[in-house]
Structure 1
Amino acid sequence: MELRVLRYFLAVVESGSVTRAAAEVHIAQPSLSRQLRGLEAFLGVTLFDRTGKRMELTAAGRRFLPLARDLVTRADTALAAAGSLASGRAMRITVAAPATTITDVIAPFLATWGPEDPLVTVQAENPLRAYQALTRGADVAISSAPPRRRYAGLPVARLPLWAYVPPSHPWAGRDRITIQELTGEPLIVLTLAHGTRRILDQAVQDAGRSLDIVLECDTPQVAQAMTASGHGIAVVSDDPRFGLHPLLILDQHGEPLQIRLHAAWDAGHYALRTIESFATGLARFCVEQYGPQAAGS
């Protein structure tokens, strides 16, 4: 059963006449009639009642009509998708990223998209294993670690590390704190799986100091919650919650501590144009959201 013949069948149903349908599909009337007879023979049923002036569907034809429409619609969808693949565009992509990046960066960026943009599925990954998701079906991965050489990619953003304190804290009137001052306070930090923690540890080591860690958390939201409940100062990179006050953390040279986000993908990916458009758009959004200092490069 050929899709071409199904299209002929639908044309006759919509026009009610073999003559009008033949003109619409640009085929001779005798040929169209033969195609319909062949379809009926293939199916083993009579689809049209030919006794009147208008081609009316039989009971079998009425049952077959929605099936034919569904098959043609599916074929048209497949052809459109194939055209998108051939042009390097995709109607849907999957993005893998750490949960904090999804909440604070990717989701707000996707909220700026329109209905003409591709659908995006986002899956949360451990920060240390984000790039591994590319071997499990993800189309693009976002991580704080530079991508491996086997992948293409670009720097997306540089986001500051924040020390969060309650409004009642003596530092609540300030906008920044040095790493030396921070090491003298009880801290709530993330686990070593997070790039934020690794950057903090390196800055502390470079300053020749040590941390007073009262709690390690796997999620930055919990770290901020513990700070809000008075257990210490949270050091994270996500946006403020629970009414906490953010302080930039300066290293021993007076430079803000920053975490870098990178996007990576397979250089030979069939949807290369869509992926590159997503990554460059995300980088542009970060600059618009957080200022020029957030530019990835």
Structure 2
Amino acid sequence: MELRVLRYFLTIVDTGSVTKAAEEVRVAQPSLSRQLRGLEASLGMTLFDRGGKQLILTAAGRRFLPLARDLVARADAAEAAVGALASGRAMRITVAAPPTTITDVIAPFLSTWGPEDPLVTVQAESPARAYQALGRGADVAISTAPPRRRFAGLPVARLPLWAYVRADHAWADRDDVTIGELAAAPLIVLTPAHITRRVLDHAVQDADASYDIVLECDTPHVAQAMAASGHGIAVVSDDPRFDLHPLLILDGAGEPLQIHLHAAWDPSHYALRSIETFATGLSRFCVEQYGPQVTARG
């Protein structure tokens, strides 16, 4: 089973046609068809249903597709690594992380790097899907959920939740607010899909309280914008915008509400040292940016 033929197979899947795939890979269509049949013969399975005008994967083909993508991705990664070592140029690292983490943590961290550091590509993923991205080509994933045991990793930081108020709000001269006080105020919150909302809900429940939701938002930026327009207090974890004043939210024990950032990667990754350098550097940057209280535990 040759990598070249696997690449042909993936191109056929992506284009939906042997004719279009032949044009893309610049191989004659009869030759491409023969090599596809040869791949099926070597695997002992039929990959496509050829009954219609368009090639459709069989059940066996659907099961084989992720394996083929993984093999080709690993081969590409190995080729890139060898090329980087041979030429002496900086390696490229792909980081998967939630959008807010990219905006407020990763992008500011990368701005401190120099030309001798690896090139970094960042892709936005939800916290629930960030670790899945490691199987789709990402080298390191950052998430608010602890990584699975099969991954290597480290805790990055404990970032606080903030209650954002306008400069003319009665709390604007304060540094913090208790969960009981906050629950009695009109709140602009994120949807339950966000870890920030789930942490808030747990804290309110632990305080045996309930709160009044003025508006649910899909994005933290909109939540802050609505707070700036005077509709309520925004509860988010991202950095302040629109001249809003941040308040730490204290639970019943007087501890600030926090979300935990974790980094994870494949322990057998060829660029292990570069990935570890990125993760530990990101953790140090969070402490420098937000203070020693965000130092990760564990």
Same fold, judged at TM 0.5 (above) = yes
CA distance in 2, matches of 1:148, 1:84: 30
Deviation at 1:83?
6.8
Give the partner amino acid of 1:238.
Answer: D
* Alignment check: 8 A CA contact 1:128 1:193 kept: no
CA distance in 2, matches of 1:95, 1:129: 13
Deviation at 1:84?
5.1
* Alignment check: 8 A CA contact 1:85 1:271 kept: no
**Structure 2 unaligned regions, length at least 5:** 1-77
State the Cα deviation string for residues 260-293 of structure 1 (Å, max 9, x = none): 1000111111111111010000001111111111
SS at match of 2:268: coil
Where do 1:128-147 residues align within 5 Å? Answer: 128-147=128-147
The answer for the alignment partner of 1:149 in structure 2 is: 149
CA distance in 2, matches of 1:135, 1:194: 23
The answer for the alignment partner of 1:100 in structure 2 is: 100
The answer for the alignment partner of 1:254 in structure 2 is: 254
* Alignment check: 8 A CA contact 1:187 1:215 kept: yes
Higher Rg of the two aligned structures: 1
* Alignment check: 8 A CA contact 1:134 1:265 kept: yes
1:268 aligns with 2:237: no
Residues 138 and 85 of structure 1, relative CA distance in 2, 3 Å threshold: farther
The answer for the alignment partner of 2:173 in structure 1 is: 173
CA distance in 2, matches of 1:106, 1:99: 10
TM value normalised by structure 1: 0.70
**Structure 1 unaligned regions, length at least 5:** 1-77
Residues 85 and 208 of structure 1, relative CA distance in 2, 3 Å threshold: farther
CA distance in 2, matches of 1:110, 1:229: 32
Give the partner amino acid of 2:164.
Answer: Y
* Alignment check: 8 A CA contact 2:95 2:139 kept: yes
The answer for the alignment partner of 1:7 in structure 2 is: none
Deviation at 1:148?
1.0
Deviation at 1:217?
1.1
CA distance in 1, matches of 2:198, 2:258: 11
State the Cα deviation string for residues 151-189 of structure 1 (Å, max 9, x = none): 111000111110000011111111100000000111111
CA distance in 2, matches of 1:276, 1:98: 19
The answer for the alignment partner of 2:201 in structure 1 is: 201
The answer for the alignment partner of 2:65 in structure 1 is: none
Give the partner amino acid of 1:99.
Answer: P
Deviation at 1:127?
2.2
The answer for the alignment partner of 1:289 in structure 2 is: 289
* Alignment check: 8 A CA contact 2:81 2:271 kept: no
* Alignment check: 8 A CA contact 1:127 1:193 kept: no
SS at match of 2:164: strand
Number of aligned positions between the proteins: 218
CA distance in 2, matches of 1:280, 1:115: 19
Residues 164 and 80 of structure 1, relative CA distance in 2, 3 Å threshold: closer
The answer for the alignment partner of 2:163 in structure 1 is: 163
State the Cα deviation string for residues 236-275 of structure 1 (Å, max 9, x = none): 1111000000000000111111111000111111111111
Greater shift in the superposed pair: 101-110 or 205-214: 205-214
CA distance in 2, matches of 1:114, 1:169: 42
CA distance in 2, matches of 1:165, 1:217: 16
Percent identical:
80
* Alignment check: 8 A CA contact 1:190 1:196 kept: yes
State the Cα deviation string for residues 50-105 of structure 1 (Å, max 9, x = none): xxxxxxxxxxxxxxxxxxxxxxxxxxxx999417569xx97001001111100100
Give me the CA root mean square deviation. 1.9
CA distance in 2, matches of 1:188, 1:79: 49
The answer for the alignment partner of 2:117 in structure 1 is: 117
CA distance in 2, matches of 1:131, 1:199: 21
Give the partner amino acid of 1:286.
Answer: C
SS at match of 1:172: coil
The answer for the alignment partner of 1:189 in structure 2 is: 189
* Alignment check: 8 A CA contact 2:186 2:212 kept: yes
* Alignment check: 8 A CA contact 1:85 1:270 kept: no
CA distance in 1, matches of 2:269, 2:133: 14
